[in-house]
Amino acid sequence: MTTPAEHDTPADRAAKIKEVTCRVLEIDESELGADTLFQEDLDADSMKLIELLASLEIEYDVEIDEDALDRMVNLAGVYAVINEAIDAREG
């Protein structure tokens, strides 16, 4: 199955990941920087992080191991996890 997100440029992918993250965490994009910590800075609970993982799996048609949640503490971590999952799928 081909999704539009599969053909994103790196900048498009970063913007889409930020958009999805903000939607799931129910925050404005201005509140989220690459190093903003989801739990400590934004009070996101573990259920929100699982919801984020599931939303990104759907958006990018990838499977992400729940162990990756330990790395998904901020936007930079989410970028890394998603990029690795896409690379693994395409590799």
List the domains of the chain with CATH numbers: 8-90 (1.10.1200.10)
Quote the pLDDT of residue 6. Answer: 57
d(CA 73, CA 78): 7
DSSP 7: G
d(CA 66, CA 43): 20
Catalytic pick from 35, 43, 45, 87?
45
Alpha helices in 26-91 (DSSP H): 38-42, 46-60, 75-90
Quote the pLDDT of residue 2. Answer: 43
Has 45 been annotated as catalytic? yes
- For residue 52, give the nearest of 89, 29, 28, 82 by alpha carbon: 82
Whether the pTM exceeds 0.75: the reply is: yes
Residues 1-44: tens digit of each pLDDT: 444 555 678 899 999 999 999 999 999 999 999 999 999 999 99
